[in-house]
Structure 1
Amino acid sequence: MSRASTQRYKRPALLSGSRPPTVKAKHAALSSKATRNLIRSHHRLLKARAQAVQAGDDILAGKIDAQIRGNGGLKSYQLASKLGQSSDRGGDSSRVLVDWMAPRLLPLENTPYKLRVLEIGALSTKNACSMNKCLEVTRIDLNSQEPGILKQDFMERPLPNDEGDRFHIISLSLVLNYVPDAAGRGDMLKRCVSFMTKASPSGSSLAITPSLFFVLPVACVTNSRYLTESRLQDIMSSMGFVLAKSKQTSKLIFQLWDHAGDYEPKPFRKETLNPGKSRNNFAIVVK
């Protein structure tokens, strides 16, 4: 990935300069409905802020920053997300990843070898993938919630120097929809490829297929003007991914994409694919 494409993504990272003090524990009592509303509101404000910054409207961007702070900022959003992963709110999405990977992990049972996982947007060190003895998890997030999670923007993470810096599995659970601009989402998917490896764990002869696991709100794919399942398939295929597993609930879509090794991304612009007044504007643009 070029340095220029990395620079394009930096605008969302400006939120780091406006994060509020630690949010009080009162949010722990948020209802499921209030949690969803807080998450949606935060996404809408982030998108509006990105548009204001792109238009050079510093006054509007400042007003939106004030709204974000008024809602509790990124910490409040992350707390709501963490509540959403509790057992009584639908649970930990990485359980799906571990279930899907179980057949591939069997050869690692009773061996010292592990698959390396990069969990982007990590909220906990005690989720299913972190507790699996066959996985070695590196956790990063823009605003670390606990020890064991590195405070880091994936788009600013140094590119790998050797195989030890690459991963067999990358997890993007409810992360891509957090990126406020469509081009940034395309850049993130392209950058993931740079961090993947099919090299066996050191000392083993296990054949590896690198995989990308991601979770999105189902409406991003089924009710968007600019993204359909077919368009998502085309975008991922151009980057060398093959869909291995897919699961859809009333709220979320889970997918596991294996990387076949071919990498020939082509441009995908924002265009109306699914017209309708009730559609949302979620899109992925690849430049």
Structure 2
Amino acid sequence: MAPKSRSKRPSLLSKGRPPTVKPKQAALSSKATRTLIRSHHQLLKARAQAEKAGDAAKLSSIDAQIQANGGLDSYQIASKLGQSMDRGGDSSKLLIEWIKPQLNQWNPNLPKLRVLEVGALSTKNACSRTPSLDVTRIDLNSQEPGILQQDFMERPLPCSDEERFHIISLSLVLNYVPDATGRGDMLKRCVKFLTSQCPIAFVPTLFFVLPVACVDNSRYVTEERLLDILSSLGFELVQSKRSNKLIYQLWHYTGQCSPRSFKKEMLNPGAKRNNFAIILRDG
């Protein structure tokens, strides 16, 4: 008796395909990344206080701790991981989403809009891939070609509109400045780098990203106080978005400023609140 022929089961598609490439594991976990960034910010704050007090011994000790943590290089690696695609992605994608209706006016026969990206970590983010934008990237410690190693506060002031920008991006930059007065000075300095002379209908723009704790859990800054500070400099809030950890804002520079000073004053008392502050000086 002839043996019964068994019908073959169809092969699974997975049998004929190469193994799935597993994504590379990040060198640091999300928790370790946040811890390193937080530690670096705290050490910088302590360093600024020691420098102000003229405490050379403490200054030397803090510098040693910063180096033991890997210095600025380690901080930037952690920041890159924090902004990588598998950790929530590139914040400039939201900037492009917000300004896309205006950018749709642009065509290749027109000059590109100029962007100054302060604290740039990558030359491959959404801004850099947008054909209508010419991006100038600067950072205190450049991590790759295409990013100029420069302190924004020491960048020469523009002498003409051609040296100014249509967009300035401060994504997780202001919170890196170690003292409250320096933060106010940085915001004031942005005004000097913006221009309204544009090849399309476009209002000078500031893109701004901060940890949400800077406005929700600070003794000295609230979202309302931030609005008052930037409004006094001539900015108008046009877009705002929150995630669990970050606040994103888009500001138009209208030039309708009402200069005033903002001191470090208690707005939200509480033992568990942080000391993030912005001081805006006259002049």
TM-score (norm 2): 0.89
Aligned mates of 1:84, 1:153 — CA distance in 2: 22
Counterparts of 1:132-147 in structure 2, within 5 Å, are: 132-147=130-145
Aligned residue in 2 for 1:271: 265
Which amino acid letter does the alignment assign opposite residue 153 of structure 1? D
C-alpha distance in structure 2 between counterparts of 1:67 and 1:110, whole Å? 50
Aligned-pair identity (%): 68
SS, match of residue 78 in structure 1: helix
Distance 1:33 1:163 in 2: 44
What amino acid does structure 2 have at the position aligned with 1:270?
K
- Aligned counterparts of 2:111 and 2:162: Cα–Cα separation in 1: 14
How far off its partner does 1:200 sit? Answer: 1.6
Determine the C-alpha separation between the residues in 1 that align with 2:122 and 2:145: 9
Deviations 1:132-178 (A, max 9, x none): 00111000000001000000000000000111110000000000000
- d(CA) in 1 for partners of 2:102 and 2:44? 38
Larger Rg: 2
1:57 maps onto 2:49 in alignment: no
Residue-pair matches, total: 257
Deviations along 1:193-237, whole A, 9 cap, x unmatched? Answer: 000000023xxxx22210100100000001100000111111010
TM-score (norm 1): 0.88
- Deviation (angstroms), 1:28: 5.3
Read off the aligned partner of 1:181 and give its amino acid letter.
Answer: D
Q: Which 4+ runs in 1 deviate beyond 4 A?
A: none
Q: What is the aligned partner in structure 2 of residue 90 from structure 1? A: 88
Q: Quick one: distance in 2 between partners of 1:138 and 1:110?
A: 19
Q: Judging by fraction of residues, say which structure has more helix.
A: 1
Q: Report the counterpart of residue 6 of structure 2 in structure 1.
A: none
Q: Which residue of 2 aligns with 1:260?
A: 254
Give CA-to-partner distance per residue, 1:31-70, whole Å, 9 cap, x none: 1110000000000000000000000101101100000000
| CA displacement, residues 89-118 of structure 1 (integer Å, 9 cap, x when unaligned) | 110000010000100100004543311000
CA RMSD of aligned residues (A): 1.1
Report if the CA contact (8 A) 2:108-2:132 is conserved.
no
User: Contact 2:102–2:201 (CA<8 Å) still a contact in 1?
Assistant: no
1:1-287 correspondence to structure 2 within 5 Å: 29-201=27-199, 206-287=200-281
